Amino acid sequence: MNTPTDRIFRLTYIPEHIHLTRMLITDITISQDTSLILYQVPFGLTKSPSRAWKKVLMETWHSVIQHNERVSNTVIWVFHNRIMIDKVSIELVKNELETLLAVAIEKTNKQMKMRSQLAI
């Protein structure tokens, strides 16, 4: 039999904190769609993210690269515990790409944490 209670129970959600582990240099692919040589650059993640996290990362990536002309045409996608950035120009320095991605991931983690706090 159910009895009334004055207690309130809250379900808490622990946000996922995903970090960049490394650039997978051995898996870089060169594609020559036009007169430009473009690269497909993969990165490793600490774990596989959720669908919501992936969506936020893609939105964040576009806002991070918006004012950087050398990266503005790139395409990003996430699968399993990898991120693939396509259409990377040869002029882009490896460290710059990795820094931009690390910033996007950090912003994504912060947004996911804020969303989980608002839900509680």
Q: What is the CATH number of the domain that holds 73?
A: 3.30.1360
What are the percentages of helix, strand and coil residues in the chain, rounded to 5?
35, 25, 40
In terms of residue numbers, what domain contains 84?
A: 20-119
With a cut of 50, say whether residue 103 has pLDDT above it: yes
The C-alpha atoms of residue 56 and residue 88 are separated, in whole angstroms, by 21
Eight-class DSSP state of 27: G
Answer whether residue 43 is part of any domain.
yes
Answer whether residue 85 is part of any domain.
yes
Q: Which residues pair with 83 in a beta bridge?
A: 43, 78
Band (pLDDT 50/70/90 cuts) for residue 57 is very high
With a cut of 70, say whether residue 1 has pLDDT above it: no
Q: Residues in the chain, how many?
A: 120
pLDDT of the residue at 35: 64
pLDDT of the residue at 94: 74
Answer whether residue 9 is part of any domain.
no
Answer whether residue 51 is part of any domain.
yes
Per the model's pLDDT, the better-predicted residue between 88 and 32 turns out to be 88
pLDDT of the residue at 9: 46
Answer whether residue 11 is part of any domain.
no
In percent, the amount of the chain with pLDDT more than 90 equals 28
Answer whether residue 102 is part of any domain.
yes
Answer whether residue 57 is part of any domain.
yes
* Count of domains for the chain: 1
